[in-house]
């Protein structure tokens, strides 16, 4: 392999006719410039314009974006919303947690008026959610679980045993057989570890 070419911010990589800008680059006056210090990469896919990007050895910080699926932990609940800490975006862990809110009306898609937060989440639950908004001045990230694939994935019972889901709204403790209410996610089979 040829020795990697390093580039630094402000370095002109190529013109827009020769490639499309990828990560770590920006465009200005019809040219692609590097915005990071790292290795120059050019990947072409079947006749398309090659994607020009700059890669670093360590991935830089990722931020939750609108539409991204995030993994979060519930830290507190009240009758109107649940507060969560966002820990993962997709499958990449965040260096520092971001705070998010799941409002009552965003917990499920149907019968929104009958939703009760404490019947859906409990503090400590691990929840899959989707970002719907970056929030405004008062609030932080707004999340939703109003999809079958979104909701509680891991929850512990009062006996502190990890519960098994038995329906979309119930989970059961394997040791005491007590049932608890949750908004359970239907985890896609390809993500299940056996």
Residues that bind other proteins (CB under 8 A): 4, 6, 8-12, 24, 26, 28, 33, 35-39, 56-58, 60-61, 63, 95-99, 134-135, 137-138, 140
Least separation in angstroms between CB 8 and other proteins: 5
Q: Which is nearer to other proteins, 56 or 162 (CB)?
A: 56
Q: Which is nearer to other proteins, 56 or 112 (CB)?
A: 56
Query: For 185, which DSSP code?
Result: -
The answer to whether 99 touches 122, Cβ cutoff 8 Å, is: no
Least separation in angstroms between CB 180 and other proteins: 31
Instruction: Please give the angle made by the CA atoms of 125, 160 and 177, to the nearest 5 degrees.
Output: 100
Q: Which is nearer to other proteins, 9 or 50 (CB)?
A: 9
Distance in angstroms (rounded) separating the CA atoms of residues 95 and 40: 25
Q: Which is nearer to other proteins, 37 or 161 (CB)?
A: 37
Largest pairwise CA distance in the chain: 67
Least separation in angstroms between CB 69 and other proteins: 18
CA 65 from centroid of its chain's CA atoms:
8
Least separation in angstroms between CB 45 and other proteins: 24
SS3 74: strand
């Amino acid at each position: 392999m040829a020795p990697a070419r390093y580039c630094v911010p402000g370095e002109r990589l190529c013109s827009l006719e020769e490639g499309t800008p990828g990560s770590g680059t920006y465009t200005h006056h019809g040219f692609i410039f590097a915005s990071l210090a790292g290795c120059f990469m050019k990947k072409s896919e079947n006749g398309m314009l090659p994607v020009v990007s700059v890669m670093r050895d360590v991935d830089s910080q990722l931020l939750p974006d609108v539409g991204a699926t995030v993994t979060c932990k519930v830290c507190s609940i009240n009758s109107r919303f649940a507060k969560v800490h966002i820990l993962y975006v997709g499958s990449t862990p965040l260096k520092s947690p971001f705070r998010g809110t799941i409002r009552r009306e965003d917990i499920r898609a149907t019968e929104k008026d009958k939703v009760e937060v404490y019947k859906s989440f409990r503090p400590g639950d691990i929840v899959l959610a989707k970002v719907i908004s970056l929030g405004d001045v008062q609030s932080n990230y707004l999340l939703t679980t109003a999809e079958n694939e979104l909701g509680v994935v891991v929850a512990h019972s009062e006996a502190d045993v990890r519960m098994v889901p038995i329906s979309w709204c119930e989970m059961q403790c394997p040791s005491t057989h007590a049932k608890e209410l949750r908004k359970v996610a239907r985890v896609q089979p390809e993500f299940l570890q056996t």
